[in-house]
Copies of this chain bind each other. A is one copy, B any other.
Amino acid sequence: MRKNMPALGELERVVMDAVWDSPEALSAYDVQQQLEAAGRPLAATTLLTVLSRLEKKGFVASDRTVRPYRYSPVASRADHVAELMHEVLGESRDRMAVLERFVGSVSEEDAAVLRKLLRGDG
């Protein structure tokens, strides 16, 4: 698990959502079309800039054997979020206290999911 994950800006997050939501790798143009359909028209160059920043940050990878290049997520959204949770948890000095507060404030459904997952685990 990478430490010190870079933060995502607002547009970067929107782009990541598009990349995550797609079953296949997307070209910059694909992303542009999707955002335009979602009411957020942007210049193609803007998408390219954002995508290359995301690539530098390690959030997407590009397949350069085809033209146009295809961008795909490095980690799934769930993996990404789970990693973030671990990173946040690692900030603390008293993990137990944090977990206590965390569990104490999850919904009953989430608690049920956790119980099930932990049962299967040990």
Contact surface of A with B, Cβ cutoff 8 Å: 1, 7, 76-79, 81-86, 88-89, 91-106, 108, 110-115, 117-118, 121-122
Top 7 closest A-B pairs, CB basis?
A82-B101, A78-B97, A82-B102, A103-B117, A81-B92, A84-B88, A81-B98
Check B88 against A100 for contact (C-beta < 8 Å). Answer: no
Q: Which residue of B lies closest to A101 (CB)?
A: B82
CA distance A104 to B13 in the complex (A): 25
CA distance A96 to B106 in the complex (A): 12
Q: With contacts A85-B89, A92-B77, A92-B81 known, is A118 near B117, CB below 8 A? A: no
CA distance A7 to B8 in the complex (A): 12
